Amino acid sequence: MRASSSPTPDLEEAAPLFAALGDPTRLQLLARLSAEGPRSTSHLQGPTAVSRQAISKHLEVLGAAGLVASSRHGRERIWAVQPARLAEAHAYLAQISAQWDAALERLQAFVEAPESE
């Protein structure tokens, strides 16, 4: 369980999150789970050329990053998105965006300031 005193994740917590999101296959799996709801590994494989074993490994990486979680239903593992971890990613990106906005405002003020002689 992650304990944080601030509402945004620190760099140490954010790195694995964004590393997991950096792979196109994992990003596609997360997008499908977000749009379709909880699904089994075999359903997520569907008609893709990616093997079931590769899909499972990608889901494990997403799970280790806290983006998805699985539960057993009979012989199947059902995967679901963990919205709290996605909210952390959003908060981190919002923090970076605010920092850039502030830096651009300072630059604009500097450029537009009258020159003093």
Highest mean pLDDT among 2-11, 13-22, 52-61: 52-61
What is the rounded average pLDDT of the residues 26-45? 94
Q: What CATH number does the domain containing 48 carry?
A: 1.10.10.10
Q: Which tokens belong to 100? A: 């850039």
Instruction: Tell me how far apart the 2 most distant CA atoms of the chain are, in Å.
Output: 79
33 within 8 A of 68, measured Cβ to Cβ: yes
- Residue 2: which pLDDT band, with cuts at 50, 70 and 90? very low
Q: Determine the structural domain holding residue 57 and report its residue range.
A: 11-82
Taking residues 45-54, report their average pLDDT. Answer: 86
User: What would the mean pLDDT of 45-73 be, rounded to a whole number?
Assistant: 92
Higher pLDDT, 110 or 117: 110
Q: Is the pTM value of this prediction over 0.85?
A: no
Give backbone dihedrals phi and psi of 79, rounded to 5 degrees, phi first: -105, 140
Domain contains 76 = yes
Token pair 């990613």 is found at 89
Q: Count other Cβ atoms within 10 Å, centred on residue 89.
A: 19
Residue 51 counted as domain residue: yes
For residue 46, being part of any structural domain is answered with yes
Mean pLDDT of the chain: 86
91, part of any domain: no
Count the Cβ atoms, other than its own, within 10 Å of residue 62: 26
Q: Is residue 112 part of a domain?
A: no
Closest CA to 70 of 45, 46, 38: 38
Number of structural domains (the chain) is 1
pLDDT tens by residue, 70-107: 999 999 999 999 999 988 888 888 888 888 889 999 99
Q: Are 65 and 17 in contact (CB under 8 A)?
A: yes
- Whether residue 54 is predicted with pLDDT greater than 60 in this model: the reply is yes
Look at residue 3 and tell me if it is in a domain.
no
